[in-house]
Chain A
Amino acid sequence: MSSTAIAVPAAVRVADLVKVYGAGEAAVQALDGISVGFESGRFTAIMGPSGSGKSTLMHCAAGLDTVTSGTVVLGDTTLTGLSDKALTRLRRDRVGFVFQSFNLLPTLTAAQNIRLPLELAGRRPDREWFDHVVGVLGLADRLDHLPAELSGGQQQRVACARALLPRPDVIFADEPTGNLDSRSGAGVLEFLRRCVRELGQTVVMVTHDPNAAAYADRVVLLADGRLVDDLTSPTADRVLDALSNADRGRSDKLRGLRKLGG
């Protein structure tokens, strides 16, 4: 595993993270003792083939899921062992989410959806900041629309605004372009990159699309619940190469297993 020198402090760190789903015969080890840090003010992509544990890593790092063993530290807070209430508060105040299927509340308008986390926290949104975020995302004339009246790209931009508005320590994006056409997808990725470059946001994105990963400053590659590669300033081609390497490793391993079995 190649390791990059970390120049900036990590916004999120996980150490020796193990996540096992189920028990006994049916147990599936999704994360196998992974340790990785996501630096503050950078755009990191987590990649890997299906079942590599990339989504699980994100869920654990974001406090959405519990871990079997190991630690997750967000800023200066250790997440492991926190109560559900404390975790909820932490997500509300310090973490932003962008999901593959937008996950907006259908009963709320765009503006209400954007303000939701702040309202849940009982905080008043900073009017200027709200206008700025909405302006950057080009949503100013869409604020009173219900999600059903917005296009997929617009919905995802609303989700981005929702994630950004509370100025979280880190934004987690789970396949944010998975349900979008390439043009809308590019718009969303461009916005995420701007958040990092211009606003100093920390963004961690899970994706399986090398083109999307190319927008990131750094790509970490997972296979079978382990970290297998770590690229800085990636291009789509380099990501593809790394992916096929990881795949080869995987098929080697499978061959090995077959040998053992036969």
Chain B
Amino acid sequence: MLRTTMAGLRAHKLRLVATALAIVLGVGFVAGTLIFGDTAKAALYDRFALSARGVDVAAGPGSAPGSAPELPMSTVDTVRALPGVSGVDGRMQEYVPLLDRNGRLVGSTRYPGLALSAGTVPGLRPFDVTAGRVPASPGEAALSADTVTRTHYALGDTVTVLDRQQARHTLTLVGIVSFGSSKQYADQAVVILTSGDMTSIAGSHGYQQVVAAAAAGTTQADLAARVATALGSAARVRTGDQYRDDLATSAINQFGPFLTVLLVFAVIACVVSAFVIYNTFTILIAQRIREVALLRCVGASRPQVFGSVVLESAVVGLVGAVLGLGFGLLLGLGLFSGLTALGAPLPSHALVLTARPVLVAVPLGVLVTVTAALLPALRATRVPPLAALRVTPLAALRGTRRRVLLVVFAILVGALGTALTLSGSGNHSDPNAAVLLVIAGGLVNFVAVLLLSPLFVGPLTGLVGWLPGRLFGTPARLAVAGARRNPGRVAATTAALMVGVGLMASASVSLATIKATATRQLNEHYPVDYILQPADTGNGPAGIPTEVAKRLRGRPGLRDVAEVRQYGGAVDGTDATLGTVDPAGRGALLDAALPLTAGSTADFHAGTVILFTGAQAARGRHVGDTVTVSTVDGDTARLTVAALASGKSQTGDVILWWDDFAALHPSTRDDMVMVRAADGVTPADSRSQVESVTDDYPLVDVGSIAEWRAQITSQVDTLIGVVAALLAIAILIALIGIMNTLSLSVVERTRESATIRAVGLTRGQLRAMLLTEALLMGLVGALVGVGFGLLYGWATTRVLFSGFAAILTVPVGQLLGYVALAAVAAVLAAVLPARKAARASIVAAMGET
């Protein structure tokens, strides 16, 4: 039997190539993701080589509640006194904004500059000196090579940094340092200071880390134990090896979500492959009925027939999986260099192939293939020996009993899916769980659609084929008949496409809805042109000096200036951000454009609040309710709800009256300043007006709403692009499926094609007929996918945005584009089979049975 199987495989080599290709792509995706993960990990591991260089023991502040955020200055001496220590150094790290030659902040306000202590033990420094020397006396500084490149500072120059009070300090540049291949500080300006300046300028009062080197004869573990005992529970002590491991692990974790998403898409690709394989084997078996029956006639048992088909699939799966591993290597390389090119903080590294991708991907490929071939194999065992003697019967009509069973089963599955979806949609308390429920419901319902698809693809094909039939006459009508002939097969073929296009459509609808909703939120909640925010210096929000707003109010060309203050707190115990707007700016920000759902801003005065329904704290509140508003410091006030507004606001979840807020949390700085330009002032003019004030405050970030909107749009567009690229593999596999199905049915219909050619169909018309058939399959798959994606994209987004008035946005152009793309691709997939069919000699083809 083994020999028969192998001979069969050799004979059907070409037909199985396409099957193997589906596996290659699916397995390749999985392997590529794993290989990328391993490589990224190895690269990140290397990246910390300098941080952990020479370090045998690393002590950091303990994580127990109540422990100080830094190690006290005395720690270095305590450690130095221990036996077995050959060197010890304390590392300080603080946020210190660095200004460029023009007095502007280097980098963005989201990544302010970083100051590191120069250290006293050269062997324990986390950097190399590439030019000059490390700062030795106060007033000296070194910069990282990246920072020098960006600022064009040269040795001997004077550089300016800001302290916590935003006062300027000038330092002399004495050295340039490098962090090796690490991109840890890639986006930040890094200044190296003496420990004295770290304290006096950067305000450091302790060590972020104390590192020690062990003397000869002392192991890392021994020394770590000694340090731990000496420092007690205030410190977290690790060996150098552990430290490096932990650094790499925490770094790889930032890629975790990305890897998860990749794996999800990889699994989708495998599922789609399974459809293609199932379909191919079903057709192969159908075509080989006589062959199988002959085997049965000459004495093959049912298990032998079953085993033969399963073995065949296993061999195909194995070959595909091994090739897929190779594809995975390429994909891993592509992902790695692609992400690096896009600016991901990944150091360059050679590709790493561990055993894991091999152990996962290869068995996965075999498993997927064999599983997909099980049903066709089982069907092969039902072929009676007598079938060998019959003239090949046309596809037998399916029993109605089976069909009824199928429908009942599909309805049950659909009911389950709908119940899941509805329970998700109705669940407002936990958006995450709700979204998961809706997605699960969608998947289950999709299975129901797939089960039912043999029943509806026929009529749908007829419907879709009506226009081509009208336009192109008989060949197109023959194509419709061809596509409708075997609904089960067409359903299985298009199912793969449905999955890919469905997910793509669903993602597009979600993202378009998010984009539209976010844009509207921006417009509603920010009836302003500019938002000024303090730079995050890493030391807590610094706030904006009130002079900024005062000076802005004096500028011509700016109509409204509103000061916003915020503080953490709670409403009746539920966490909420408390916000307020100063009296002068209140009218512009609140009265004009709040999307009120209840109450009126006219009722907003001292002793009242406005709640945003998008926040958890507003649930179940009504106008007139009295709520207890508390700050994180424990101050409380009893206030009445004056109005409810929809959505969420950057101002806060709860808007308090200015004086009420001041009573709860007195502050001398603003957390945000919003500016609206006067009518008729150009954006360039208003921007220069704003910047004429903010240039004196390097730590104030000026955001333009127009830029934000553009940013959201470009982010959403990028996401759509990424999702489309990831799903492209699934769609590619689906197209291989179409090609496969079509080439197999071309073989099946050799004689039939010859007949139509004999009675008057030209070669061109025969080609057109087969291409039209592929077009119809592509259209049907894409249409069902888009329909389903539309429904669930909307359902998911609605739940995601519960509390917001989400605007269902159907990206019609995009969706039509997907359908057109699928159709065109399906036609392309059919070019080769169609050519083969058209080339066949009529007489020779007529002779085949």
Does B253 interact with chain A (Cβ within 8 Å)?
Answer: no
Nearest Cβ on chain B to A242's Cβ, whole angstroms: 27
CA distance in complex: A107, B475 (Å): 13
B394 to A85, Cβ gap below 8 A?
no
Does B751 interact with chain A (Cβ within 8 Å)?
Answer: yes
- Please tell me which stretch of A1-9, A87-95, A207-215 contacts chain B, meaning at least 4 of its Cβ atoms lie within 8 angstroms of it: A87-95
Known: A85-B762, A97-B759, A105-B478. A65 touches B842 (CB 8 A): yes
- Please tell me which stretch of A45-53, A118-126, A137-145, A225-233 contacts chain B, meaning at least 4 of its Cβ atoms lie within 8 angstroms of it: A118-126
Contact with A along B750-779 (1 / 0, CB 8 A): 011011111111111100000000000000
Does B406 interact with chain A (Cβ within 8 Å)?
Answer: no
Identify which of B485, B759, B842 contacts A107 (C-beta below 8 A). B485
B485 to A59, Cβ gap below 8 A?
no
Does A64 interact with chain B (Cβ within 8 Å)?
Answer: yes
B758 to A97, Cβ gap below 8 A?
yes
Nearest Cβ on chain B to A59's Cβ, whole angstroms: 5
The interface on chain A, measured as residues whose beta carbon lies within 8 A of the other chain's beta carbons, has a size of 27
CA distance in complex: A86, B473 (Å): 20
Contacts of B473 in A (CB 8 A): 119, 122
Contacts of B475 in A (CB 8 A): 120
Does A249 interact with chain B (Cβ within 8 Å)?
Answer: no
Output the nearest chain A residue to B763 by Cβ-Cβ distance: A84
B760 to A89, Cβ gap below 8 A?
yes
Known: A89-B760, A120-B760. A103 touches B755 (CB 8 A): yes
A148 to B394, Cβ gap below 8 A?
yes
Does B228 interact with chain A (Cβ within 8 Å)?
Answer: no
A105 to B762, Cβ gap below 8 A?
no
CA distance in complex: A74, B428 (Å): 81
A59 to B752, Cβ gap below 8 A?
no
Contact with A along B731-762 (1 / 0, CB 8 A): 00000000000000000000110111111111
Contacts of A116 in B (CB 8 A): 474, 756, 759-760
Contacts of A84 in B (CB 8 A): 762-763
CA distance in complex: A117, B758 (Å): 9
A88 to B843, Cβ gap below 8 A?
no
A88 to B757, Cβ gap below 8 A?
yes
Contact with B along A148-180 (1 / 0, CB 8 A): 100000000000001000000000000000000
Identify which of A108, A119, A121 contacts B481 (C-beta below 8 A). A108
Does A99 interact with chain B (Cβ within 8 Å)?
Answer: yes
B484 to A107, Cβ gap below 8 A?
yes
CA distance in complex: A177, B765 (Å): 31
CA distance in complex: A103, B391 (Å): 13
The interface on chain B, measured as residues whose beta carbon lies within 8 A of the other chain's beta carbons, has a size of 28
Does A106 interact with chain B (Cβ within 8 Å)?
Answer: yes
CA distance in complex: A61, B764 (Å): 23
B843 to A64, Cβ gap below 8 A?
yes
Known: A65-B841, A116-B474. A107 touches B760 (CB 8 A): no
B761 to A105, Cβ gap below 8 A?
no
Output the nearest chain B residue to A115 by Cβ-Cβ distance: B474
Known: A85-B763, A116-B474, A148-B394. A91 touches B758 (CB 8 A): yes
Contacts of A106 in B (CB 8 A): 394, 485, 752
B759 to A120, Cβ gap below 8 A?
yes
Identify which of B391, B482, B751, B765 contacts A120 (C-beta below 8 A). B765
Nearest Cβ on chain B to A155's Cβ, whole angstroms: 12
Known: A64-B842, A85-B763, A116-B474. A105 touches B758 (CB 8 A): no
Contacts of B841 in A (CB 8 A): 65
Output the nearest chain A residue to B761 by Cβ-Cβ distance: A120
Output the nearest chain B residue to A146 by Cβ-Cβ distance: B394
Contacts of B358 in A (CB 8 A): none
Contacts of A104 in B (CB 8 A): 755
Identify which of B394, B752, B759 contacts A92 (C-beta below 8 A). B759
CA distance in complex: A117, B478 (Å): 12
B843 to A59, Cβ gap below 8 A?
yes
A103 to B760, Cβ gap below 8 A?
no
Contacts of A88 in B (CB 8 A): 757, 760-763
Contacts of A122 in B (CB 8 A): 473
Identify which of A85, A101, A162 contacts B759 (C-beta below 8 A). A162
Does B846 interact with chain A (Cβ within 8 Å)?
Answer: yes
Tell me the dominant secondary structure on chain B's binding face: helix
CA distance in complex: A121, B760 (Å): 8
CA distance in complex: A85, B484 (Å): 28
CA distance in complex: A97, B107 (Å): 82
CA distance in complex: A83, B752 (Å): 22
Nearest Cβ on chain B to A118's Cβ, whole angstroms: 9
B752 to A105, Cβ gap below 8 A?
yes
| Residue among A85, A97, A104, A120 with max Cβ neighbours from chain B (10 Å) | A120
CA distance in complex: A137, B470 (Å): 31
B481 to A107, Cβ gap below 8 A?
yes
Contact with A along B326-364 (1 / 0, CB 8 A): 000000000000000000000000000000000000000
Nearest Cβ on chain B to A67's Cβ, whole angstroms: 12
CA distance in complex: A64, B394 (Å): 26
Contacts of A121 in B (CB 8 A): 760
Nearest Cβ on chain B to A146's Cβ, whole angstroms: 9
Identify which of B474, B754, B842 contacts A119 (C-beta below 8 A). B474
CB contacts under 8 Å to A, within B376-414, are 391, 394
CA distance in complex: A19, B758 (Å): 19
Contacts of A85 in B (CB 8 A): 762-764
CA distance in complex: A237, B391 (Å): 33
CA distance in complex: A128, B484 (Å): 31
Contacts of B763 in A (CB 8 A): 84-85, 88
Output the nearest chain B residue to A62 by Cβ-Cβ distance: B758
Output the nearest chain B residue to A147 by Cβ-Cβ distance: B394
Contacts of B755 in A (CB 8 A): 99, 103-105
Contacts of A97 in B (CB 8 A): 758-759
Identify which of B485, B752, B761, B762 contacts A103 (C-beta below 8 A). B752
CB contacts under 8 Å to A, within B664-720, are none
Nearest Cβ on chain A to B468's Cβ, whole angstroms: 15
Output the nearest chain A residue to B474 by Cβ-Cβ distance: A119
Contacts of B764 in A (CB 8 A): 85
CA distance in complex: A89, B762 (Å): 8
Identify which of B752, B759, B765 contacts A91 (C-beta below 8 A). B759
CA distance in complex: A104, B751 (Å): 10
Nearest Cβ on chain A to B394's Cβ, whole angstroms: 5
CA distance in complex: A97, B843 (Å): 13
CB contacts under 8 Å to A, within B109-143, are none
Nearest Cβ on chain B to A112's Cβ, whole angstroms: 8
CA distance in complex: A101, B755 (Å): 11
Contact with A along B465-486 (1 / 0, CB 8 A): 0000000011100100110110
Output the nearest chain B residue to A100 by Cβ-Cβ distance: B846
Output the nearest chain B residue to A119 by Cβ-Cβ distance: B474
| Residue among B485, B755, B759, B760 with max Cβ neighbours from chain A (10 Å) | B759
Known: A103-B751, A108-B481. A120 touches B758 (CB 8 A): no
Contacts of B765 in A (CB 8 A): 120
CA distance in complex: A119, B481 (Å): 15
B760 to A117, Cβ gap below 8 A?
yes
CA distance in complex: A105, B751 (Å): 10
CA distance in complex: A122, B761 (Å): 11
Contacts of B842 in A (CB 8 A): 64-65
What are 26 A-B contacts defined by CB distance under 8 Å?
A64-B758, A64-B843, A65-B841, A65-B842, A84-B762, A85-B762, A85-B764, A88-B762, A88-B763, A89-B760, A92-B761, A99-B755, A101-B751, A103-B752, A103-B755, A103-B758, A104-B755, A105-B478, A105-B752, A106-B485, A107-B478, A108-B481, A116-B474, A120-B475, A120-B760, A148-B394
Interface residues of A (CB under 8 A from B): 59, 64-65, 84-85, 88-89, 91-93, 97, 99, 101, 103-108, 116-117, 119-122, 148, 162
Known pairs A65-B842, A88-B762, A105-B755; list 9 more (Cβ under 8 Å): A59-B843, A65-B843, A85-B762, A88-B761, A89-B762, A93-B760, A103-B754, A120-B761, A121-B760
The 10 closest A-B pairs by CB, nearest first: A92-B760, A107-B481, A103-B755, A119-B474, A88-B762, A120-B760, A117-B759, A65-B843, A107-B485, A117-B760
